[in-house]
Chain A
Amino acid sequence: MRVKRWSSVVLVMMLSAAVALTGCGSSNNGAAGTNAGTNGGENTPSASVQDTLIIGRGGDSASLDAAIVTDGESLKIAHQVYDSLVEYKEGTTEVQGSLAEDWAVSEDGLTYTFNLRQGVKFHDGTDFNADAVVFNFTRWSDPASEYKFEGDSFDYYDSMFGPDGKRVIKEVKASDASTVEITLNQPQAPFLQNLAMTSFGIASPTAIQEKKENFKNEPVGTGPFVFKEWKRNDSITLEKNVDYWKEGLPKLNKVIVRSIPDNSARFNALQSGEIDLMEDLSPDDLATLEANSELQKIERPSNNVGYVGFNLKKEPFNDVKVRQALSHAVNKQAIIDAFFAGQAEPAKNPMPPSLWGYNDSITDYEYDLEKAKSLLADAGYADGLPGEYTFYAMPVPRPYMPDGKKVAEVIQADFEKIGVKVNIESPEWATYLDDAQAGEKDDLFMLGWTGDNGDPDNFLYALLDKDASNNYSYYANDELHELLVAAQTETEQSKREELYKQAQEIIKVDAPWIPLVHTTPLLAAKANLKGYVPAPTGTEYYSNIHFE
């Protein structure tokens, strides 16, 4: 009896499998038809114009709380959820009003008075007002804030407005419900420029108080899109903010941002219609893209640097001669020719040439292995460096580096020729950033930076000043520090430019990094996607995007 019953179960299983499989077999014969179905037909049949945008990107967000993140993947989602007091005009780094309608600056440049937009509500229904602004600034600046949760640090606040004890902002106070007054300790030339950054997006105080450390998983702001769902390493779903204060926006109903780390899988998904817009197109796929009339190429204005950083906390990279020697051992042009399909230029400075203040008179360390060897010998390492070193290479494609692991392998091979043995490691992205920042596990690391605000301060001070929390090299030079702080307080443009040029000379000699490339990041989209203007800062609203 039992035998019969069980075998019949198996038979049923097999039968159903057979039905399923023969079913698919038969329709596969009409391959062309089914495939066309995947491209358009899978949308809800009734909708005439597509109003859901699916974006494919290389990595997941580390966190959704704009204030505690510094990586591009986290920021670009945060940008949809939060608004800052001021914002950049689309596609530029020019500042215009946002949550603050307008503002006045005092004569001495120390007091900023912001008139806030009225009637704006957070996604949780609470009011946006001056108190909310004060709450956010207090949270960012007070090291003992009860809303600074375990493991969090407000890195951008510290690096843009000075670390605790050296704060630029003295006080933020609400004069009335819709006026905020910010007083500075010293004038800061790029102050408004800084305020417009995504990280200074105003979050709902009620949500932070209620959700506590879970806020970083369920963000609430005033932005064009409302956070809906986050499936780690898979997708983030955003929905239209129907009460958005910008009239008629956003045009989309829903945005799904999927993480597809593999460059070719992501491109394949675009070709097959599974996604509408992809970031970080591998330059290897550029030819295929241009041959496909259903797709379009989108370029982001170049405003970045990809680099290899030395960890100066570690022997022997605290020795400038060693760093200079290794700087001679990287063949930037060959890397660019091989991996960037003309979408990059070699870097000699830690900031991009598209930015004012760039020092073009600097000559780079040329690729010369003999010279590298002799410099190593001068440093006392005639037989190469002793031991093996850990070289962190990005596990995910970045706009400034589409395939970090491969570039790292090229560098690894060149280093080996001068007797320097490095082992490449690529932990998961959030862990990678933590490790690189801690500077304990890595001896060298690959990373890059996309400018946030169109000011050289955002590269030179933010990444290389001894006080900056994004200084993952742990490079400290007092002379440089003085220059950079002077440039922050100086308000005359030509003087600032001069200071930054001097700073670049110091950095060149100290060689805390090997700057590798400045890229023009590539994106690709369906041909009928309109209204998308990539910003040089790497984050932009999706609110104007629509399909035709």
Chain B
Amino acid sequence: MKAYILKRLFIMIPVLIGMTIIVFSIIHAIPGDPAETILGQKATEQSKEALREQLGLNNPWYQQYFTYMGDLLKGDLGQSIRTRVPIAQEITPYLAATAELTIAAMAFAIFFGVNAGIISAWKQNSWFDYISMLIALIGVSMPIFWLGLMEQWIFSLKLHWLPSIGRMNQRDPVEAVTNLYLIDSMIAGRWDQLWTVVRHLILPSVALGTIPMAVIARMTRSSMLEVMSSDFVRTARAKGLSQFIVVYKHALKNAFIPVLTVIGLQTGALLGGAVLTETIFAWPGVGRYIYEAISSRDYPVIQSGILIIAFLFVFINLIVDLLYAAVDPRIRYR
């Protein structure tokens, strides 16, 4: 196992380096003088020169790249041009907000996806099967930004059940410790706040989680169908265990791999989808942070934001791969 982890980490290195090269090139791909694009024509030659100096644009590109890498390794993500705050410091609360949202979305997707998949397979060709597979089909085709708008319209504007935007009640702000408000409100022992935070989380996480939910439901169903015809489930049934336990206990274990696969595959879509969800629900996450940086041409923020998300994505996929290997040792030797 250790050898496998090392091998996997080793393979990651060129990918990570390649990613830094791509992100590094963003600023060089801007047509014209980057300093002028960023600061605007109003800027004096002096301040443009200062920015070029700050961004190291005056050095040869390979030198710039090594400086950039050096800074990255030291944990220095550069400084926002607009706010002049170090990005590493500024981005933390945004990252936490996105983490909370994506984890909630994934929890929603796994819970409903796995259960719908299992029941559909169990009751194959029943009305439940047809309806949930139809929902899954529609779910994978859903533009999440539209789903988010529809949710706001129905559950917030029409029915007034849930808040439409934001993460918490501004009148009674959650005291930020981890910036994960679910945890922070529990630390503070404020159960009423926890409830508010949960209510704010529901609509965006459903919007973001719908596509993964649909994919998980479909994959769970097909892998369950395979598993359920296998010998050991038949044996288990023969042993006289109740059907519920047979299906959930034994079959679930075997449905684990496809679910893991989907998690790995969908994390990217989830992190990307966060940009849209966060825009609609005014969620102060890293997707919105990057999006706003784009419209204010804050290139260091764009670069570092994208790099962090991509690193996260690679990292999650690494964990998924390692989990595979842990679950199914054969994979290691492939």
Contacts and interface: CB of A to CB of B under 8 A. Distances in A.
- Asked if A and B bind, the verdict is yes
Contacts of B41: 438-440
Contacts of A10: 110, 256, 259
A3 B165 contact: no
B216 to A, nearest CB: 11
Interface in A261-313: 265, 268-269, 272, 274-275
A387 interface: no
A272 B172 contact: no
Interface in B311-334: 323, 326-327
Interface stretch (B139-147, B194-202, B228-236, B264-272): B194-202
Contact of B284 (A18, A35, A231, A269): A231
Interface in A3-60: 3-4, 6-7, 10-11, 13-14, 16-18, 20-21, 23-24, 28, 31, 34-35, 38, 42-44, 52, 54
Nearest first, the 6 closest Cβ-Cβ pairs linking A and B are: A428-B295, A438-B41, A17-B107, A434-B40, A17-B111, A440-B41
B296 interface: yes
Interface in B258-310: 259, 282, 284, 288, 292, 295-297
Given A7-B253, A20-B198, A151-B47, A35 B160 contact: yes
A21 B202 CA distance: 8
A253 to B, nearest CB: 11
A90 interface: no
B47 A234 contact: no
Given A10-B259, A31-B160, 15 more contacts: A6-B256, A24-B202, A31-B159, A52-B171, A150-B47, A153-B42, A214-B84, A265-B282, A268-B157, A268-B164, A274-B163, A275-B170, A438-B40, A438-B41, A440-B40
Contacts of B196: 42
Interface of A: 2-4, 6-7, 10-11, 13-14, 16-18, 20-21, 23-24, 28, 31, 34-35, 38, 42-44, 52, 54, 150-151, 153, 213-214, 217, 231-235, 256, 258, 260, 265, 268-269, 272, 274-275, 395, 427-428, 430-431, 434-435, 437-440
Contacts of B114: 14
Contacts of A7: 252-253, 256
Nearest to A150: B47
A539 to B, nearest CB: 22
B163 to A, nearest CB: 7
Contact of B107 (A14, A256, A272, A437): A14
A194 B161 CA distance: 50
B36 to A, nearest CB: 9
Contacts of A269: 164-165
A435 B107 CA distance: 44
Contacts of B292: 232-233, 428
B284 A17 contact: no
15 contacts: A3-B256, A6-B326, A28-B161, A42-B171, A43-B171, A44-B172, A54-B171, A217-B83, A232-B292, A234-B284, A274-B169, A428-B292, A438-B41, A440-B40, A440-B41
Contacts of A435: 40
Interface residues of B, number: 49
B49 to A, nearest CB: 11
A404 to B, nearest CB: 15
Nearest to A11: B252
Contact of B43 (A13, A34, A151): A151
Interface in B156-183: 156-157, 159-166, 169-172
B209 to A, nearest CB: 10
B166 A213 contact: no
Given A260-B165, A430-B82, A14 B40 contact: no
A42 B83 contact: no
B295 A427 contact: yes
A18 B111 contact: yes
Interface string B105-139: 00110110011000000000000000000000000
Contact of B156 (A6, A11, A217, A268): A268
Nearest to B39: A151
B84 A217 contact: yes
Contacts of A256: 170-171
Contact of A34 (B42, B161, B171, B172): B161
Contact of B170 (A3, A151, A274): A274
B50 interface: yes
Q: Among B42, B115, B171, B284, which residue has the most Cβ atoms of chain A within 10 A?
A: B171
A246 to B, nearest CB: 26
A395 B157 CA distance: 24
A17 B326 contact: no
Nearest to A152: B47
Nearest to B288: A233
A182 to B, nearest CB: 29
A430 B292 CA distance: 11
B259 A2 contact: no
Contact of B84 (A20, A213, A268): A213
A258 B159 CA distance: 24
A256 B171 CA distance: 8
Nearest to B108: A17
